[in-house]
Amino acid sequence: MSAGPRTPMESHEMSTPATAMDDAPVLVERLGHTLLVTLNRPHALNAVNAELSAAAGGVFRLPEQLPRKIAMEMILTGDPIDAARALQLGLVNQVVAAADVVDAALALSERITVNAPLAVQASKRVALGIRDGRVSAEVTRWQHNGQEIRRLLATGDAKEGTRAFGEKRRPQWQAR
């Protein structure tokens, strides 16, 4: 039974494992279900700083991966964490120097690819609850996320956040 049309952000679930190299400050928003190798740069779930809500699943996935109070602090403040803290919290598998990131990602990929591919894919689907290309436990969360994003985008604060970002200044929030 179909749960309805997919949004671009929820259609990314796959059963094939992926290894990512990430040097961007928005790692936490994109973390999803990917095995990660990261560089030593700060990472944040910082959409609240621009009068937006994180739209790629980080807001509802982070509290499942971290102690609730730490997740809520990261979500509500948008404060970055460095790679060492991300490793300590278990958000990333390893932290490597920039010069070693490609080799580390390839080494992790090679360790996965020596295993039986269908068994690896089935294991990932079962471990993450993926059915028909979706994490069934997240369907209503994606719908709620979409409703909140649409509501936020219709506000004056969303327009102010976008304008302030473009003008490289601090937004003047009005809570409207």
Question: What is the CATH classification number for the domain harbouring 90?
Answer: 3.90.226.10
**pLDDT of amino acid 24:** 46
Contact criterion met (CB below 8 Å) for 157 and 51? yes
Give the structural domain span for 121.
Answer: 19-166
What predicted TM-score, i.e. pTM, was given to this entire model?
Answer: 0.66
pLDDT of the residue at 15: 60
Residue 120: both structure tokens together: 């690896």
Burial class (CB within 10 angstroms; exposed 0-12, middle 13-18, buried 19+) of 21: middle
d(CA 59, CA 153): 17
Confidence category of residue 32, pLDDT binned at 50, 70, 90? very low
Q: Give pLDDT, residue 114.
A: 93
Q: Structural domain tally of the chain?
A: 1
Higher pLDDT, 4 or 139: 139
pLDDT in tens, 122-163: 998 898 888 888 888 888 888 898 898 888 889 998 888 889
